Amino acid sequence: MNLWIWFISVLVMIPFLSLPFFYLLLSIKVKSKKKKFLWTADLSTFIFIVAVHFQLITIFQRSFTLHIVFSLLILTLIFLYIDYKKANNVSWKRVTKRTWRFSFFLFIFGYLLLTIIGIASGIVQQNLS
């Protein structure tokens, strides 16, 4: 049990490790490279959301959970509006998939940006001490 907790903690702290892990895990059952890549992105999105959440707590000493939830809801509404304007027929499956896949790129970017901000603030605090 402790090994699983440790492994999940490593994936959250270093979420880029989740990408090859999920890809290799999916290689066992999924043959299509495109499907493996898309499933890897889908599974890793949650890891990146949690990692960004913890980075925000570490850097700013407060929780941004509601901000993350509301931004995902707003993103869903944007894709809902786009889907409605394109087809006049809303497919919740398509909207959810687009939102989730776009949030994958959004949270990777957020993770990288917060990593740079965290390193920079650590250097500044070290130099001020």
Cβ contacts of 107-112, under 8 Å, gap ≥ 24: 107/45, 107/48, 107/49, 107/51, 107/52, 108/48, 110/48, 110/52, 111/15, 111/48, 111/51, 111/52, 111/55
Q: What is the pLDDT of residue 88?
A: 83
How far apart CA 116 and CA 123 sit, in angstroms, is 11
pLDDT of the chain, 129 residues: tens digit per residue: 677 777 777 777 888 888 999 999 999 999 999 999 999 999 999 999 999 999 999 899 999 999 999 999 999 999 999 999 998 888 899 999 999 999 999 999 999 999 999 999 989 988 887
Model-level pTM? 0.88
